[in-house]
Amino acid sequence: MKDIALVTGGNRGIGLAIALRLRAAGHEVVVACRSGQAPEGLAAVAMDVADPASIDAAFTKVEADFGSVSIIVANAGITRDGLLMRMSDQDIDDVLTTNLAGAIRISRRGLRAMIKARDGRIIFISSVVAMLGSAGQVNYAAAKSGLIGAGRSLAREVGSRGITVNVVAPGFVETDMTADLEEDRKASILSAVPLGRYAQPDEVAALVEFLASKDAGYITGAVIPIDGGLGMGH
C-alpha cells in the first residue's frame, strides 16, 4: 500500500516541488491549500493552516477519501516583513499563526493515525533565519525558530512510536516569496552565500523526499540546513 503524504502549501513554490518529488517517489500525495486546487494533476484538499477547524476538516476528508496520512510536510508559510517598531499586531499574529501554530496543529491532528500505525514522518519547513536572525523579520524568524523547538520536542514525544520529526532549514530559494525582494537586498544575500546562488525548489524537495523515505528511519529531531553554506556554523 502507498504511503499517503500531505503537503501544506503544495500548490506552488517549494511545496509544489515537494509534492511532485514525493509523487515521483511513489507516495500518494495530497496537496493541502487554501483554494483546494492543485496544479499538475495532484490531488488537493482545501485547508487554511491558520484555521484550526479547517485543518481538522481537511484531515477528516483526506482520511475518508484516501486513508490515513503517514507523511506530513508542514510547508505553508507567509512573510509580513517590517521593522518591529512599525510592525502591526496583525502582522505578528498572522505570521506566528500560519508558520508556527499551523504546523503544530497539523502535527497534532495527524498524530492520531500515526500513533495507531506506529509509523510516520513529520517534516517542518523552517528557514536559515531561525538561526541567523534577520532584520525586518522578527515575526518570521520567531516562527521559524519556534518550529525547531516544536519539532525537537515532538521528536522526543513520539520517537518511541516509530514517528520521526525533522526540520529543514532552507536558505534563499527562487520562489514567489523571494521574487519581490529589492535588487540590492538580493545582491547582498547572494554575496553572503558561499555557493553564490539561490536554491531551486527541487533541491529542497530532494532533501524532503529523503527524510520522508524509509531510509531516513533513524533521523529524528534533526535540523538540516540547505542554504548553500549561508548559515554554516550556527
| CB of 213 vs ligand NDP, minimal distance in Å | 20
Task: Count Cβ atoms below 10 Å from residue 96 Cβ, excluding itself.
Answer: 17
- Site size for ligand NDP (CB under 6 A): 29
Dist CA 128 CA 134 (whole Å) = 9
Span of 70-78, 109-117, 157-165, 185-193 interacting with ligand NDP by CB under 6 A: 70-78
Q: Where does this chain touch ligand NDP (CB under 6 A) — which range of 6-14, 22-30, 183-191, 208-216?
A: 6-14
- Count of C-beta atoms within a 10 Å radius of residue 162: 14
- The candidate with the shortest Cα–Cα distance to 42, out of 4, 98, 71, 99, is 4
CA–CA separation, 23 and 10 (whole Å): 12
205-234 residues in contact with ligand NDP (CB under 6 A) are none
Binding piece for ligand NDP, criterion CB under 6 A, among 7-15, 64-72, 84-92, 208-216: 7-15
Give the one residue of 173, 205, 208, 212 binding ligand NDP; rule: CB under 6 A.
Answer: 173
Q: Residue 117 or residue 189: which is nearer to ligand NDP going by CB? A: 189
Q: Which of 3, 45, 59, 77 binds ligand NDP (CB under 6 A)?
A: 77
140 is catalytic: yes
20 near ligand NDP, rule: CB under 6 A: no
Which amino acid belongs to residue 232? M
Backbone angles phi, psi at 46, to 5 degrees: -75, 125
Q: Is 176 in the site for ligand NDP (CB under 6 A)?
A: yes
Q: Could you say which of 178, 192, 213, 216 contacts ligand NDP (CB under 6 A)?
A: 178
Q: How far is the CB of 28 from ligand NDP (least distance, A)?
A: 19
Nearer to ligand NDP by Cβ, of 1 and 53: the residue is 53
Is residue 98 part of the contact set for ligand NDP (CB under 6 A)? Answer: yes
Say whether residue 11 binds ligand NDP (CB under 6 A): yes
For the bound state, the minimum distance from the C-beta of residue 26 to ligand NDP, rounded and expressed in Å, comes to: 23
